[in-house]
Structures are given as structure tokens and as C-alpha cells.
């Protein structure tokens, strides 16, 4: 969300409304010092319902830019808005090309005009998909009642007006999918920190081995003989001696006991691993999970936040609720 807000500011957006429901308090606390307007959903409204709510509750301009909060992109929002105004469109949807369009809403167009949107088709006709960025005429959002943008709102607008497609070429990821989120982070450090990055106030033992690309955040510590490769170590995290961390993302305040190994995994903020813990590929540990000494977490283990794991999990794909 930091990237989105920065991009909106850079694009000249002067008022930002954020629709919140799940983890609303945590999000509002995170941005308490920002000049943002939070709109609380009392019940689930889908991804289109909040647009109608905000359009009828607040005085908005003639057109509204809408961005999904669980998508990362480097879209120039000002260019999207200019395209929308220049073509005099009822709505504009940003599209991007992906290798597996079956997971998304596929956009079919004639020149720049959207003719059809197919949600998660089994046999997609194109690989241009909905990138989760839109511009709508405000009057449309005030009138149209719909819960889903892709399934309801856009099909209605295709029949009633002109919907344009702005094709974006650049980095894009649906970060609501953990594996995509991990891959995105690794892709970004490969691009931005090919030789690796260690914050000035991080402490890395002279006997540790860091293999680029890597990112070691401020206040982090890496112990002797530990090996960090193609990974991100969040701020204030502590890595013990003789650890092996590869292709992984560790959030802030993670503690990893000596002799532990982590591969292709995501560890949430405040996770604590004892000594000689093994976390295998595809695993995800939620915030403040505690794992006891010597425990093995097999591939694709998912542990929800605030849990304690005292015994090894040998079953692949186990979910700890």
C-alpha cells in the first residue's frame, strides 16, 4: 500500500479514500499520520460496493481513479487518467499481459475499446488481463448497484457506454497470492540490488556469507558463518550463527536460532525460530509464530499468526489454524 499511495501522490491525486473491513484497525494505525480518508465497510460489499458507497457519501470530482490494494504495479496513474479523459470514456480498465491468464479476468478489445471480460476462463482467448486499476465517471458509480467490478459492473458498462483498455507493460503482480508476493519481492531485489544491499546500521558478521542479490534491513543482525542468498531480511531481524537462508522473505523483527535453514519461505513479522529449525520451500509463517528448537516444517506448511509449533510437521501442505 505504501507503493500505491506514493504512486497516487506522484500522479497528482489530492484526495485518497481507502475502503477497509478486514484488519481495518491495523491498516488505519499504520497510516494514522497520512492524509487519508478511511471508509469502513459494516458488511462485505464486494469490490464494487464500496465505490457506490464512497461516490454517494462524499463530494468527488467528475472522474474517480480506483486501485486494488492487493496488486503491485508501477503504473503511471496520470497517464491512465489522461487516456480516460482524452478518449472521453465511461470507464477505463488497465490491462497487462501474463503467462497464465486463467487466474484473472481476461480482457477482449477492439482497438482500445473493451468488448468482453471473461472471469477466470478455462480456455482464455487472450493473455491480456484486468490489472486492478480503473477510472470511472463518478455519476456511473452513484447510479450502478453492483458487488463485483469484473463480473457485474464492467459488463453493464460495456452495454451502456464506452469502456476503454489502457494496456500497461511493466512489473505487475497479484500480491494477494503468497507465492506471487514472494516472487515479486525477489524480482525487485534482483532489479534494484543486483550486488546486494546492507543497511548502514545492520550488523553482519565478517564470517557470514552473503550471495547477491540480497537485502538486509536496518538494525538487522546476521551471525557468523551464516549464508544469505537471494533473500530479504527485514529490519530488526536477528539471524544466528550457521544459518542458511535462500530465496526467502523475512519480515521485520524475525529471530532465527543458530543452525536453522529456511528455503523459499515467507516469515511474518515477529516470527521466532529456535535453533536447528528447518523451514522448507513454499511454507508461510504468520506474524509472531513461535517454532521450538529442532522442529522441521515440511514443504508448503502454512501456520496462522500467533501459533506455537513444538513438534515437527512432516506432512506436506499442512495448515495450522
What per-residue confidence (pLDDT) applies to 94?
98
Q: Kindly report the pTM of this predicted structure.
A: 0.86
What per-residue confidence (pLDDT) applies to 140?
92
Q: How confident is the model at residue 144 (pLDDT cuts 50, 70, 90)?
A: confident
What per-residue confidence (pLDDT) applies to 143?
87
Q: From the centroid of its chain, how far is CA 21?
A: 17
Sorted by sequence, the CB contacts under 8 Å of residue 240 that are 6+ apart come out as: 223, 226, 256, 257, 258, 259, 260, 275
Position 60 pLDDT exceeds 80: yes
By percentage, how much of the chain surpasses pLDDT 70? Answer: 100
Query: For residue range 191-241, what is the model confidence (pLDDT) as tens digits?
Result: 999 999 999 999 999 999 999 999 999 999 999 999 999 999 999 999 999
Query: For residue range 246-277, what is the model confidence (pLDDT) as tens digits?
Result: 999 999 999 999 999 999 999 999 999 999 99
What per-residue confidence (pLDDT) applies to 1?
87
Half-sphere exposure of 307 (CA within 13 A, CB side): 16
Position 161 pLDDT exceeds 80: no
Q: From the centroid of its chain, how far is CA 247?
A: 17
The set of cell numbers assigned to 199 is 543497511
Give the domains, in start order, of the chain with CATH numbers.
Answer: 2-175 (3.90.550.10), 183-320 (2.160.10.10)
Q: How confident is the model at residue 177 (pLDDT cuts 50, 70, 90)?
A: confident
What per-residue confidence (pLDDT) applies to 71?
93
Sorted by sequence, the CB contacts under 8 Å of residue 220 that are 6+ apart come out as: 199, 202, 203, 233, 234, 235, 236, 237, 238, 239
Query: For residue range 3-26, what is the model confidence (pLDDT) as tens digits?
Result: 899 999 999 998 999 998 888 888
Of the candidate ranges 54-63, 118-127, 139-148, 311-320, the one whose mean pLDDT is the lowest: 139-148
What per-residue confidence (pLDDT) applies to 121?
93
Half-sphere exposure of 47 (CA within 13 A, CB side): 15
Question: Are 249 and 185 spatial neighbours (Cβ–Cβ below 8 Å)?
Answer: yes
Neighbouring CB atoms inside 10 A of 197's CB total 17
Amino acid at each position: 500500500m505504501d507503493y500505491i499511495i506514493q504512486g497516487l501522490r506522484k500522479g497528482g491525486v489530492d484526495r485518497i479514500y481507502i475502503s477497509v473491513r478486514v484488519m481495518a484497525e491495523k491498516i488505519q494505525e499504520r497510516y494514522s499520520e497520512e492524509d487519508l480518508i478511511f471508509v469502513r465497510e459494516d458488511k462485505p460489499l464486494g469490490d464494487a460496493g464500496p465505490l457506490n458507497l464512497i461516490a454517494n457519501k462524499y463530494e468527488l470530482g467528475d472522474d474517480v481513479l480506483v486501485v486494488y490494494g492487493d496488486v503491485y504495479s508501477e503504473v503511471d496513474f496520470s497517464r491512465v487518467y489522461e487516456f480516460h479523459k482524452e478518449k472521453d470514456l465511461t470507464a477505463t480498465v488497465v490491462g497487462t499481459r501474463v503467462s497464465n491468464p486463467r487466474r484473472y479476468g481476461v480482457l477482449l478489445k477492439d482497438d482500445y475499446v473493451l468488448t468482453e471480460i471473461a472471469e477466470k476462463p478455462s480456455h482464455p482467448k487472450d493473455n491480456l488481463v484486468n490489472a486492478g486499476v480503473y477510472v470511472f465517471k463518478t455519476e456511473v458509480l452513484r447510479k450502478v448497484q453492483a458487488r463485483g467490478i469484473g463480473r457485474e459492473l464492467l459488463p453493464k458498462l460495456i452495454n451502456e457506454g464506452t469502456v476503454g483498455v489502457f494496456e500497461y507493460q511493466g512489473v505487475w503482480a497479484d500480491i494477494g497470492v503468497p507465492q506471487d508476493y514472494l516472487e515479486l519481492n525477489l524480482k525487485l531485489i534482483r532489479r534494484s540490488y543486483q550486488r546486494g544491499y546492507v543497511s548502514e546500521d545492520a550488523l553482519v558478521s565478517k564470517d557470514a556469507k552473503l550471495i547477491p542479490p540480497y537485502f538486509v534491513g536496518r538494525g538487522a543482525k546476521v551471525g557468523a558463518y551464516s549464508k544469505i542468498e537471494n533473500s530479504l531480511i527485514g529490519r530488526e531481524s536477528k539471524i544466528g550463527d550457521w544459518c542458511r537462508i535462500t530465496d526467502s522473505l523475512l519480515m521485520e523483527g524475525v529471530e532465527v536460532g543458530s543452525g536453522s535453514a529456511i528455503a523459499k519461505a515467507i516469515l511474518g513479522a515477529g516470527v521466532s525460530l529456535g535453533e536447528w529449525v528447518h523451514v522448507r520451500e513454499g511454507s508461510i509463517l504468520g506474524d509472531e509464530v513461535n517454532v521450538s528448537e529442532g522442529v522441521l516444517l515440511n514443504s508448503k506448511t502454512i501456520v496462522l499468526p500467533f501459533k506455537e509449533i513444538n513438534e515437527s510437521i512432516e506432512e506436506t501442505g499442512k495448515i495450522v489454524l
